[in-house]
């Protein structure tokens, strides 16, 4: 097989939590009188909570102290976590369950490589936690995507070399992170439109062909 392991981004790839990030940030931006739309939201894909806030605050003429920024980030996370309460297996992307099952049967090692600090909660709520041999997330990294840290750590946790892993990403920042880690990348969703990844896929089932 071409790869020994697959590292999945979480938000926007495995689970449709990206819409909840958008709604939570929109609530904060509206309250602050800052313009925020889906296009700006695409810049936040794969980017850490604080780095996302910094991008949103670029739309304001006001200055915010570190303490104010901390509070805004906490506020966003608490709105986001309210949305996560209702999360179930139905929030998984189309074909995710069947494909994870197939890839596992093929003998591939599977990991999550996500910037989110809520990753384990999301994996458990959607009942896919058991598929993964490793979870590298926002809690074990210092630098956010496009830095390759999260993916290098995921490969390390799997006991594999970077070149043996394929990354699956929906974010431009994530594709750049995979490339910087010397990993091939399959882009889906927003990232696929940019045609900067090794593969651009329309659905999850195509992953089986790529790794075969």
Q: Quote the least distance from Cβ 187 to ligand B16, whole Å.
A: 13
- Are the CB atoms for 164 and 143 separated by under 8 Å? no
Size of the site for ligand B16 (CB under 6 A): 20
How is 112-161 classified by DSSP, letter by letter? Answer: EE-S-TTHHHHHHHTT-GGG-SEEE-TTS-SS-TTSSHHHHHHHHHHT--
Active-site residue (options: 11, 18, 91, 190): 11
Alpha carbon separation from 172 to 44, 103, 192, 203 (Å, rounded): 10, 24, 9, 17
11 is catalytic: yes
Q: Is 46 in the site for ligand B16 (CB under 6 A)?
A: yes
Closer to Mg ion at the Cβ: 56 or 171? 171
Phi/psi of residue 170, nearest 5 degrees: -110, -5
- The Cα–Cα gap between 118 and 199 comes to 28
Closer to Mg ion at the Cβ: 9 or 137? 9
9 is catalytic: yes
- Are the CB atoms for 109 and 160 separated by under 8 Å? yes
Cα–Cα nearest to 196, from 158, 163, 169: 169
Near ligand B16 by CB under 6 A: residue from 56, 171, 175, 186: 171
Near ligand B16 by CB under 6 A: residue from 3, 4, 6, 9: 9
Rounded to 5°, angle at Cα 137 from 136 and 143: 105
Q: Is 137 in the site for Mg ion (CB under 5 A)?
A: no
Closer to ligand B16 at the Cβ: 115 or 126? 115
Q: Is 136 in the site for ligand B16 (CB under 6 A)?
A: no
Q: Is 189 in the site for Mg ion (CB under 5 A)?
A: no
Q: Is 45 in the site for ligand B16 (CB under 6 A)?
A: yes
Closer to Mg ion at the Cβ: 5 or 46? 46
Task: Tell me: cis bond preceding 146? Omega within 30 of 0 counts.
Answer: yes
Q: Is 26 in the site for ligand B16 (CB under 6 A)?
A: no
Q: Which residues bind ligand B16 (CB under 6 A)?
A: 9-12, 21, 44-49, 52, 77, 114-118, 138, 171
């Amino acid at each position: 097989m071409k790869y020994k392991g697959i590292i999945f981004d979480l938000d926007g790839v495995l689970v449709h939590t990206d819409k909840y990030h958008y709604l939570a940030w929109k609530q904060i931006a509206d309250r602050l009188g800052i313009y925020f739309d889906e296009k700006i939201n695409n810049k936040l894909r794969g980017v850490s909570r604080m780095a996302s806030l910094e991008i949103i605050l670029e739309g304001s003429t006001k200055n915010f102290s570190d303490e104010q920024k901390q509070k805004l980030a906490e506020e966003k996370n608490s709105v986001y976590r309210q949305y996560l309460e209702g999360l179930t297996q139905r929030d998984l992307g189309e074909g995710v369950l069947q494909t994870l099952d197939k890839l596992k049967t093929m003998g591939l090692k599977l990991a999550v490589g996500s910037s989110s600090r809520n990753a384990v909660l999301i994996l458990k709520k959607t009942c896919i936690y058991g598929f993964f041999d490793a979870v590298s997330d926002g809690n074990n990294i210092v630098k956010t995507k496009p830095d390759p840290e999260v993916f290098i750590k995921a490969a390390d946790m799997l006991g594999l070399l970077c070149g043996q892993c394929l990354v699956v990403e929906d974010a431009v920042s994530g594709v750049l992170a995979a490339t910087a880690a010397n990993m091939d990348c399959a882009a889906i969703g927003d990232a696929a439109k940019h045609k900067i990844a090794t593969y651009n896929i329309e659905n999850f089932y195509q992953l089986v062909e790529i790794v075969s």
